């Protein structure tokens, strides 16, 4: 037990490694947590928003037509983590989804790369005929990184968020 405590304590002393991060060579594995995702969050533009604290979450949730599920973020410890809302923007039908890829987040050279699934319905898919605004809500550990990059399965940058 003492050994585990000592190793955990040493990990916090490594430069660039914070809560929810572990170093492997020049890269760190990062614990990014999915809090919520849905078909309508009220963000018309494709992009990402950094929410630093509960006050920022409340302000974001009050924006016109925003449907952020505030209960999904109520247990976030903002001393250790922040919330990021990733939006696909307005889509013409249902069937569009953005989800976190499990275990595929890493920190390298000051850039936190988060793998996400960008799903869009096929041409022959039966979907609801309504405008949707799909989004993903994640929590990320605070750390020494200057940018978050959300990438698709092919590794192509879909959204960049500078800090």
Q: What is the pLDDT of residue 163?
A: 84
- Distance of alpha carbon 89 from the chain centroid: 15
Q: What is the mean pLDDT of the chain?
A: 82
The edge-to-edge listing of strands for the beta sheet with 33-38 is: 33-38, 135-141, 81-88, 46-51
H or E element in which residue 9 lies: helix 2-13
At residue 120, φ and ψ (nearest 5 deg) are -130, 145
Q: What is the pLDDT of residues 48-77, one digit of tens each?
A: 999 999 999 988 888 866 777 888 899 999
Per-residue pLDDT at 137 exceeds 60: yes
**Diameter of the chain measured on Cα atoms:** 59
Would the CA dihedral through 48, 53, 56, 62 be positive or negative? positive
């Amino acid at each position: 037990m003492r050994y585990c405590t000592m190793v955990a304590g040493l990990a916090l002393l490594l430069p660039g490694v914070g809560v929810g991060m572990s170093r492997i060579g020049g890269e760190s594995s990062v614990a990014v947590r999915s809090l919520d995702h849905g078909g309508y969050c009220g963000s018309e533009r494709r992009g990402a928003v950094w929410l630093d604290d509960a006050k920022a979450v409340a302000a974001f949730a009050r924006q016109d037509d925003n449907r952020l599920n505030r209960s999904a973020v109520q247990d976030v410890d903002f001393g250790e983590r922040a919330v990021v809302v990733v939006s696909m923007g307005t889509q013409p039908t249902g069937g569009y989804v953005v989800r976190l890829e499990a275990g595929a987040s890493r920190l390298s050279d000051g850039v936190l790369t988060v793998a996400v699934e960008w799903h869009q319905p096929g041409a022959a898919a039966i979907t609801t005929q309504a405008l949707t605004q799909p989004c993903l809500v994640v929590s990320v550990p605070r750390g020494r990184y200057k940018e978050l990059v959300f990438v698709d399965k092919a590794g192509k940058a879909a959204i960049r968020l500078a800090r």
